[in-house]
């Protein structure tokens, strides 16, 4: 995965709660045997009309947010299925970070494994930034080194991310390589547990 230390980008507000993975990538696009190319299917049912033309009323189609790299959304983002196609689609579209008061567990894990940084912060602050992003142009900086997200008006909020994932993402490490360094331990476990 691509290393991520610090990123500043335009924020697009998706003012909905419980955005589930069926919305992020509908099932008809899960049939690929590859990891790439899912960006064009992101939020398909909301983003496109029946005839395939862009649904102008969907926020991602607003030209104002064309270059957005950070998504801010309501709570319980990423609920539902375990499809990793959801973070793949968000990354492929160009998102580097998602901000929400709460993420669903499997989605959280899947995202961090792919270097999509999830920023879980207080709901009141999400609401404030959501409004600013809706009304004007909001740029935020997500910094994994300091574990903060900040705007250019001096508001800075801390967030937590498991240290293990933070190190992996900041260094762009391959997790399997790291685990295979512990192969002796795995073998020993298998031998003592009679597998």
Partner 1 sequence: MGKPKNIIEKIWEQKVVHREAGKPDLLYIDLHLIHEVTSPQAFEGLRIKGRKVRRPDLTFATMDHNVPTIDREKVNDPIAKEQMDTLKKNCEEFGITLFDMFHPNQGIVHVIGPQLGLTQPGKTIVCGDSHTSTHGAFGALAFGIGTSEVEHVFATQTIWQHKPKTLNVHIEGELGAGVTAKDLILAIIAEFGTDMGTGYVIEYTGDVIRNMTMEDRMTICNMSIEAGARAGLVSPDETTVEFLRGRPYAPKGEEFEKKAKEWLALASDEGATYDKVITFDASKVEPQVTWGTNPSQGAPISGRTPIIAESDDPEGVRLALEYMGLEENQPITSIEIDHVFIGSCTNSRLQDLIRAAEIVKGKKVKEGVRAIVVPGSTLVKMEAEKLGIDKIFKEAGFEWRHAGCSMCLGMNEDIVPPGGRCASTSNRNFEGRQGKDARTHLVSPEMAAAAAIEGRFVDVRNYEKTPILT
Binding site for partner 1 (CB under 8 A): 16-18, 20, 22-23, 26-28, 30-35, 45, 75-76, 79-84, 87, 102, 104-106, 109-110, 113-114, 162-164, 175-176, 179-180, 182-183, 185-186, 189-190, 193, 195
17 vs 156, beta carbon nearer partner 1: 17
Shortest Å, Cβ 10 to partner 1: 25
Shortest Å, Cβ 137 to partner 1: 24
18 vs 148, beta carbon nearer partner 1: 18
31 vs 153, beta carbon nearer partner 1: 31
Shortest Å, Cβ 8 to partner 1: 27
5 vs 178, beta carbon nearer partner 1: 178
Helices (H), 67-153: 85-93, 105-113, 123-135
Q: Are 126 and 100 in contact (CB under 8 A)?
A: yes
Shortest Å, Cβ 24 to partner 1: 11
124 vs 176, beta carbon nearer partner 1: 176
* 3 Ramachandran zone, left/alpha/beta (phi>0; psi -120 to 50): beta
The tokens 């375990």 sit on which residue?
Answer: 82
50 vs 63, beta carbon nearer partner 1: 50
Residue 79 CB coordination number (10 Å): 19
Shortest Å, Cβ 44 to partner 1: 9
Shortest Å, Cβ 13 to partner 1: 14
Alpha carbons 40 and 94: distance in angstroms, whole number = 11
Helix axis angle, 105-113 relative to 85-93, nearest 10°? 50
Q: Long-range contacts: 165-170, Cβ < 8 Å, 24+?
A: 165/112, 165/113, 168/1, 168/112, 169/1, 169/3, 169/4, 169/112, 169/115, 169/117, 169/144, 170/3, 170/4, 170/5, 170/144, 170/145
Q: Which residues pair with 97 in a beta bridge?
A: 70, 117
């Amino acid at each position: 995965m691509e290393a991520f230390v610090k990123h500043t980008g335009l924020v697009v507000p998706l003012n909905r709660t419980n955005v589930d993975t069926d919305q992020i990538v509908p099932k008809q696009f899960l049939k690929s045997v590859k990891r790439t190319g899912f960006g064009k299917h992101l939020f398909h049912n909301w983003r496109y009309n029946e005839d395939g033309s862009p649904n102008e009323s969907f926020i991602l189609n607003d030209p104002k947010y064309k270059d957005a790299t950070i998504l801010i959304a309501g709570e319980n983002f990423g609920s539902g299925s375990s499809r990793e196609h959801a973070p793949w689609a968000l990354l492929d579209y160009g998102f580097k970070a998602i901000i929400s008061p709460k993420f669903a567990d499997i989605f959280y894990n899947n995202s961090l494994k792919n270097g999509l940084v999830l920023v879980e912060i207080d709901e009141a602050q999400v609401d404030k930034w959501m409004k600013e992003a809706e009304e004007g142009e909001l740029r935020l900086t997500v910094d994994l080194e300091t574990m903060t997200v900040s705007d250019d008006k001096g508001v800075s909020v801390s967030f937590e991310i498991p240290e293990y994932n933070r190190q992996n993402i900041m260094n762009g490490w391959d997790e399997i390589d790291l685990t295979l360094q512990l192969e002796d331990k795995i073998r020993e476990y298998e031998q003592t547990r009679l597998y």
